[in-house]
Amino acid sequence: MTTKQKANHLIAAADIGGTHITAAVIDIVDRSIIPGSLVRLSVDASDNAENVISRWSLALKQASGDLPVSKIGIAMPGPFDYANGISYMINQGKYESLYGLNVKQLLADHLTIEEDLFSFSNDAACFLSGELFAANMDSNVFDKSISITLGTGLGTALYKNGVAASADLWSLPFKDNIAEYYLSSKWFVDQYLQRTGSHHQGVKDLVQMANSNKVAAHLFQIFSYNLADFLIQFIKREEAETIILGGNISKAYKLFLPGVKRFVADVFPHVQIKVSRLGEVACLYGAAAEAIALKVEAQ
């Protein structure tokens, strides 16, 4: 990672997930990923702080190589003090060893670079800002848009006046639990276990089974009801006109999205629901844009 002769248009970006880190170098002018820079490494989120930081640093090193990056933008799940780089994740089954630690300082020390190169932003907000910034969405998407990322956790964000921000609705009371439980992979795993006595690691297994397994198919139908119920509340709250879906569960959109669109249209017939065009790299674009405080604008 070269920092002495910095090219202001090159930003190293990383997306921190519950089981992995994805990193790349973004050309902020061309709005593109530098060829060959995209790296994805698995991470044990239950590991000690030293090993987690080492893994994250390795991904950033491999992505950046000798490229002269000017900033490092990191899309990070919360709770997290984004301004100061301190993690407050606890009781979420991930990165608890980092609780109360200055992640910015730890990464800077590990990479032997300056702390002020780092910028941390909420991962859900990065997804939305990256999607709008790099995917060249139609201009009508920009006004009153919201996003939801579905995976091991639940991310929610909203876009106003050129700025994407976290809506922080993961802990919203929902049914007999919180929204994140019903709209994440844990719900699928728990429900399949309760109904069949068989355990699966995540949604990917159930997607592969859905065409031939009635229980798996039924779970996606129930999920469509739950997701639509949540989205209707989110739309009312923000007066949204467009929703962008992301996260690993959204890859299985054919199994639940038709139902979601039908249920939402009964209440809000004008609202558009779109699936992410960029997938997980949207967070990288968003982290890069946030690193230089770049206002998202339609092309």
Least confident of 6-10, 93-97, 135-139, 205-209: 135-139
Contact 3, 69 (CB under 8 A): yes
Tokens of 210: 């859905």
Condensed to tens digits (0 to 9), the pLDDT of residues 29-57 reads: 888 999 999 999 999 999 999 999 999 99
3-state helix, strand, coil in the chain (%, to 5): 40, 25, 35
- All structural domains of the chain: 10-126 (3.30.420.40), 138-275 (3.30.420.40)
CB count in 10 Å sphere of residue 196 = 12
Strands 242-246 and 272-275: parallel
Q: Please give the pLDDT value at position 211.
A: 87
Sign of the alpha-carbon dihedral angle for 282, 88, 157, 163: negative
Least confident of 103-112, 131-140, 233-242, 286-295: 131-140
Q: Please give the pLDDT value at position 141.
A: 52
Q: Please give the pLDDT value at position 280.
A: 83
User: Has this prediction a pTM greater than 0.95?
Assistant: no
- H-state helical runs in the chain: 49-64, 103-111, 123-134, 179-182, 185-196, 203-209, 214-238, 257-267, 281-291
Q: Please give the pLDDT value at position 136.
A: 54
Query: Minimal CA–CA distance to 154: which of 81, 252, 23, 250?
Result: 250
Residues 6+ apart with CB under 8 A from 182: 174, 175, 226, 230
